[in-house]
Chains A and B, each alone.
Chain A
Amino acid sequence: MAMARQSLLHRLPPVSVMIAFLILAVMLVLVIFAPMIAPMDPRDVSSYSLMDMEIPPAFMDGGDPRFLLGTDNQGRDLVSVILFGLRISVLIGIGAVLFAAALGVMLGLVAGYFGGVVDSVVMRIADVLVSFPTILVALLISGIARAQLGTDMVLTWAPVILIFAISVNEWVQYARTVRASTMVEVSRDYVRAAKVIGLPSGRIMVRHILPNVMSSVMVIATINLAGAILTEATLSFLGAGMPPTYPSLGTLIRIGNQFLFSGLWWIAVMPAAVLVILVLAVNVVGDYLRDRFNPKLMAR
């Protein structure tokens, strides 16, 4: 009895992971229902007034109970602004991870399945790309987009450009992992049998090999989510991401940065705190999933 209980306890994730899960769950709910939860709509000019500008958080002297985290320079409630910003950050982070995973899985499958020249070409491109840090590549793409499309277009398409810019470097990890697993699977009997009965290559890759390599893709995706959110925040902070009209957490920190010296620290620090908590929680959960689903560690 005691033994059974102990092993059950052992199987439960550690407390830190459960707290991180809980934080992520709460944030997910907040993000999905942001328009209903937020005290005001930051995009609706009539919902806020300049009379309320620069109010410190409610727990400080001069705070106002209506504004839990204070207000910004235009009198907007920071809770509402941050909720909508969090929404954009999370959406772009998930979008970038999905796009990078799709691209990487596809190229990895093709490279591992066909081998030879296709494999060499894809993997050499990958080698060159990963020599450059994601932020550098993403900044370059942002600059090219500005020169090619004009500033107005870039502002309208900012989320798409960001997702593309972040994924350009990130697909490599998925491609390398999937390629390695695919090369193992290709020599297995079930794939040989599928080839013998004349199934088309595309069908073998998607229906037969893909399900067997998917678990490692999921783990990489969770770990990369934190990185993607951070990259987006950094790009927006540098002014190469979301515009102030549709701010992500990074844009909000960029805006708040201008008021640091006027003593209005909360405009920058509050979104920064939410960003750090989000990334920390995703990191903790990602590490746990990696240890849990890594076949090498499980064998021990």
Chain B
Amino acid sequence: MIRLLSVRLLQAILVMVAVTAIAFIMFRFVGDPVASMVREGATQAEKDALRAALGLDRSIPVQFVHFVGQVLTGNLGTSFRYQQPVTDLLLNRLPATLELVVVATVLSLAIGIPLGVLSALKPHALLSRLTQSATLVGISMPTFVTGLLLILVFAVNLRWLPSSGRGDLVDLGLWQTGFLTLSGLKSLILPSITLALFQLTLIMRLVRSEMIDVLSSDYIRFAFARGLPKSYIYSKLALRNALMPVVTVTGLQIGQLIAFAIVTETVFQWPGMGLLFTNAVGYPDIPVLSAYLLFVGFLFVFINMIVDILYTFIDPRLRTK
């Protein structure tokens, strides 16, 4: 297990180095940082002074080492557009994105796992057949179209729910939450459903196929032969093993989740990191783009490690090896 984890760690470091190098190249070579930061009508001397102040006149390897040092201390440069430190911008937007992503993931697990189990245990029940055909359409429906239709029905026609923003927020010091107000919760409904739907189909299909596999295995048949109660067999013996791949896939889907969070946040004008990113693409605000890349790279590597560790807890076989 230690060998497995150390190989993973090495891969993680490799990915992080590659991502940092790409972020550095973007930061340093795309566009001219000096031209974007200097005031209009600046003289050549002023530009040179800024260039020297930013350390852009030094050799490339030295600059890269400096860049890595800056990143490690949490300094990701200044946004061209907002003239604020990018780290502050990202941290301000982080709560919005996290709340959305967490609610969406909980929703998709809470609905996806029971529906998946149901359609495995009773494949001919009406609800199972309905969900089976619904997933086919769900897969072909782009996230932004789902969001658009939800807005059209629930915000424009029925006027039940808001279509954009986070509603009223409660300031908890470092964290601004929408969980504590009615308008905050109402604003959360449509975006989180939109984001949950694409994961939901995946989780449902996965749980269903895993459950069918597990139920036909010998140990389950023996458990039935021993006369163990059905509920015990299904929930304790079968579901536990069927959930193994769900943990991995939910973890590996984090990249997809980030991508779809970008789309969802833009559709609902949800003031999170994804919306910051799409706006930065249009501007174009290179420091924000490269910082976002670094953040996503780090997050991805981190989640992958967590999934590996979780795996060893769920599967006792990995612990002894």
Contacts and interface: CB of A to CB of B under 8 A. Distances in A.
Interface of A: 124, 127-128, 131-136, 139-140, 142-144, 146-148, 226, 230, 233-234, 237-240, 253, 257, 260-261, 263, 265, 268-269, 272, 275-276, 279-280, 283
A143 B259 contact: no
Contacts of A238: 144, 262-263, 266, 278, 281
Interface in B130-149: 136-137, 139-145, 148-149
Nearest to A240: B281
Contacts of B258: 133, 136
Given A144-B289, A275-B145, A265 B282 contact: no
Contact of B262 (A135, A230, A253): A135
Contacts of A133: 255-256, 258-259
Given A124-B14, A143-B280, A234 B263 contact: yes
B309 interface: no
Contacts of B149: 269, 272
B300 A139 contact: no
A272 B141 CA distance: 9
A226 B143 CA distance: 14
B152 A234 contact: no
A283 B286 contact: no
Contacts of A265: 152, 156
Contacts of B307: none
Main secondary structure of the interface of B (DSSP, over half): helix
A269 B277 CA distance: 26
Contacts, number: 116
A50 B140 CA distance: 35
Contact of A272 (B139, B148, B277): B148
Interface string B90-105: 0000000000000000
A20 B185 CA distance: 41
Nearest to A131: B300
B140 A279 contact: yes
A133, A136, A143, A268 — most chain B CB neighbours (10 Å): A143
Given A265-B152, A268-B148, A143 B284 contact: yes
Contacts of A276: 140-142, 145
A-B CB proximity, top 9 nearest: A133-B259, A147-B31, A143-B281, A280-B140, A146-B284, A135-B259, A143-B284, A147-B284, A133-B255
Interface in B270-321: 277-278, 280-286, 289, 293, 296-297, 300
A143 B290 CA distance: 10
17 contacts: A128-B18, A131-B300, A133-B258, A139-B281, A140-B281, A142-B281, A146-B284, A148-B31, A226-B140, A234-B144, A237-B144, A239-B282, A265-B152, A272-B149, A275-B145, A279-B142, A280-B140
